[in-house]
Amino acid sequence: MRYFFLFIITIFGYSFVIAQGGSARVAFIDMETILQNVPEYTEASAQLATRAENWKKEIEQKKEEIKKKKTSLANERVLLTRDLIEDKEEEISSLEDDLLKFQQKYFGTDGDYFSQKISLAKPIQDQVFSMVQDIAEARKYDYVLDKNTENTMLIADKKYDITNLVIRRMTTARRKQHMTAKQVEAVEKEEKEEDAIALRQSRREEQQRRRLEAEKQMRLEQKKEKEEKANSSSDKALESTSANDKKEALKRMQEEKIKEQEERKQELERQKQERIEAQKKAIENQQKELELKKQQDKELREKLQKEKEEQLLQQQKAAETARLEREKKEKEERDKKLLEAENQKGNEKNEALQKLLAERQAAEEKRRAEIEQKKQEALEQRKKQIEEAKRKQDEIRQRVQKEQEEKRNKMLLEQKQLLKEIEEAKNANNKK
């Protein structure tokens, strides 16, 4: 009864702590991964990389020029006067100083490359910080760390990683700019519901963990109390028994110890079964999360593909409309020239007509060639867009498959380790 009361008090205390916010809730992000998934950042980074390559080429050209002058001076040194040698050495030294200044200007600690890179990332980082702040407020996180800047973060559980969540929310935020107010409201409602579900799930897991800890503590206290009672009762039994009853008392003590060992063995087996069940439940939850994430990624890819197809159709319609307008104008001009040619007399009329027919034929051939060329360009452009979309889909699919394979391997490894521990415990109990 006393332990039952202690258990109730412990559970109540943990529930009160959880109601007040519980222990500190922590999540982390990978800023580099987020930046790589922002189109504006990747495009600007590519432009900056191109500029950096040009600067490096210019540096290499300067180095090559200095190297040639040094080689030339070494070959001609025996033929030159001392003054000419000093002049050439001075020139080489000046070129080396210019090269050093050039390197510092573009690649120094305060150079253009690093300053432009920082200024390029800062607006995106501000958006990320704002998005992370909204997520932390909705999901009640006390701390959100950056995996790339926290040197003390050696190991982190994947379930605390909200990088993909931030990327999805930023993608949705960009899409909101082209939505109606009603659509924006629906999307925000879905995000709030998702945050509420995640918060409830996290709190349920925290309550379950604390409940298991309380039960474990209570069982330890019961075991300790039972051992103390057994020891005290055995001492009293030995003192009160006579010399003739000592053997019987010792026999009873041995039976009690055997019974206690059996109970301990059963308790260990029950605890192992609970751990196995908890592990299975965790694995099932992870699999559900993977399926949900896979479904969300699939819907996002389908939506992006649909938007690209609609954009291509609009471009084709616009091109077809422009072509029809152009053909109409050309036909009107041809008809006008034919009418003018019919009004002429004699040979002039025939010559003008022949010339007009020749011009008409040439214009028709030119128009056909232009139409064919534009069709080829449109086909090439569409092929490139389709290939790019396929490439991105393949990359996303490979990344998802890789993450699933890593999680599957991790779960198999944990199951093997757990089975190994159970086997070792059984062997130990059998030896006992």
* pLDDT score of 61: 92
* 256 alpha-carbon distance from chain centroid: 59
Rounded CA-CA distance 161/293 in Å is 13
Residue-averaged pLDDT of the chain: 77
How many whole angstroms separate alpha carbon 287 and alpha carbon 100? 56
Please, what's the largest Cα pairwise distance for the chain?
156
pLDDT over threshold 80, residue 315: no
- Between strands 143-146 and 26-29, the pairing is parallel
* b/e code 243-280 from CB counts within 10 Å (16+ = b): eeeeeeeeeeeeeeeeeeeeeebeeeeeeeeeeeeeee
Question: 73: closest CA among 60, 61, 59, 87?
Answer: 87
Quick check: 305 and 404 in contact, CB under 8 A?
Answer: no
Look at the chain and count its residues. 432
Say if residues 136 and 26 touch (Cβ distance below 8 Å): no
* Residues ≥6 apart with Cβ < 8 Å to 271: 216
Higher-confidence position of 153 and 370: 370
- Residue 166 is predicted with a pLDDT of 85
Query: What is the Cα–Cα distance from 233 to 238, expressed in whole angstroms?
Result: 9
pLDDT for position 16: 39
Which of 225, 226, 251 minimizes the C-alpha distance to 238? Answer: 251
Q: What angle do CA 10, 20, 145 make, to 5 degrees?
A: 110
Res. 14: pLDDT tops 50: no
Across the chain, how many H-helices and E-strands are there? 9, 2
Q: Give the contacts of 73 (CB within 8 A, at least 6 positions apart).
A: 80, 85, 88, 89, 92
DSSP reduced 3-state for 142:
coil
Cα–Cα nearest to 132, from 15, 28, 12: 28
Q: Which of 35-39, 69-73, 315-319 has the lowest mean pLDDT?
A: 315-319
Please give the single-letter amino acid code of residue 91. Answer: E
Q: What integer pLDDT is reported at residue 67 of this predicted model?
A: 92
User: Residue 158 — left, alpha, or beta (φ > 0 → left; ψ -120 to 50 → alpha)?
Assistant: alpha
CA pair distance 144, 129, nearest whole angstrom: 10
Does residue 45 register a pLDDT over 90? no
Model confidence at 293: pLDDT above 80: no
* 161 three-state secondary structure: strand
Residue 262 has pLDDT above 70, yes or no: yes
Mean pLDDT score, 374-378: 83
Position 13 scores a pLDDT of 42
Residue 298: pLDDT above 80? no
Span 134-143, average pLDDT: 84
Q: Which residues contact 361 (CB under 8 A, 6 or more apart)?
A: none
What pLDDT, on the 0 to 100 scale, is given for residue 10? Answer: 39
